[in-house]
Amino acid sequence: MVSDEALLRQVHAGDEDAMAALVRRYHARLHGFIFRYTQDLQLTQDLVQETFLRVIRARDSEPQSFAPWLFRVALNLCRDQAKSAYQRREQPAAMEEMDWHATDADSDPAVIAEQAEVRAAVAALPPGQREVLLLHYFEGWTLQEVASALGTPLGTVKSRLFSGLKRLKSSIGGPTARGGVNDGQTQPATFG
């Protein structure tokens, strides 16, 4: 299989098939990451497209490792969007208005309510803690990889992770509707 980095070089040379291959590899992951960050489906689609556009247009960039670079581009866009939304004092789209759960197989109202609670708790996290949690748990990155991608010291990343977990514990740490406990044996714990 052609590496991501080789595909990127082909994309920068104008190869549309390479672009299609790269998008098919990363669309779902990037979509999930941005959605969990913004919790806005329309905005997610826009930011996914903008992320890929920036990657395509960054002809001077030759990242050693494509995936961390891709997610860093996406993260920067998310941050910029959050900053401009804050400046405009915009509120995220109400969960009720979103059709996000249309693809969710689980239609149990209790489960849906639980998920809404989790989403709200994640959205309430400070951006730094949210970024670390999303990359570590949902993208399956080690803390070292997260630190490299964010350009942040490893100790800071660990600190943000545990601070985020503590915050989440205080907001969603109670028993779940479905019960059961993650065995926690995988490292990193990956949900995505």
Partner 1 sequence: MVRRNQRRSAEDGLKAAEQRAVEQRLAGFAAPEPSAAATDALIASLRPAVRANRQEALGEALRAVAAVDDDDRDAVMVSWIRLALAQVSLLRPPFWIATLLVTLLGVAVQYSLEAPAFGIFAPALAALGVAYAFRPALTGTWEMEFACPIRPFEWLMVRFGVVVAYDLALLGLATPAFGGGSGGVIAWRLILLWLGPLLFLCGVALQASLRWGAMAGTMLPLLCWGGLLAVATALIPGLSVGQPSLPLLTEGIAPALWAASLLAGTLMIAQAPRALRGWGGAGADA
133 alpha carbon, distance to own chain's centre: 9
Count of beta carbons in the 10 Å neighbourhood of residue 62:
12
Complete DSSP assignment for 113-136: HHHHHHHHHHHTS-HHHHHHHIII
Binding mask 39-78 for partner 1 (x = CB under 8 A): --x---x--xx--xx--xx-x-------------------
Is 126 a binder of partner 1 (CB under 8 A)?
no
Is 113 a binder of partner 1 (CB under 8 A)?
no
Is 19 a binder of partner 1 (CB under 8 A)?
yes
Cis peptide before 175 (omega within 30 of 0): no
Count of beta carbons in the 10 Å neighbourhood of residue 101:
14
| Closest CB 46 distance from partner 1, rounded Å | 11
Count of beta carbons in the 10 Å neighbourhood of residue 91:
7
**Site residues for partner 1 per CB under 8 A:** 11-16, 19-20, 23-24, 27-28, 31-32, 35-36, 41, 45, 48-49, 52-53, 56-57, 59, 100-104, 106, 111, 114-115, 118-119, 122, 133, 137-138, 142-143, 158, 161-163, 165-166, 168-169, 172-173, 175-176, 178, 180-185, 187-189, 191-192
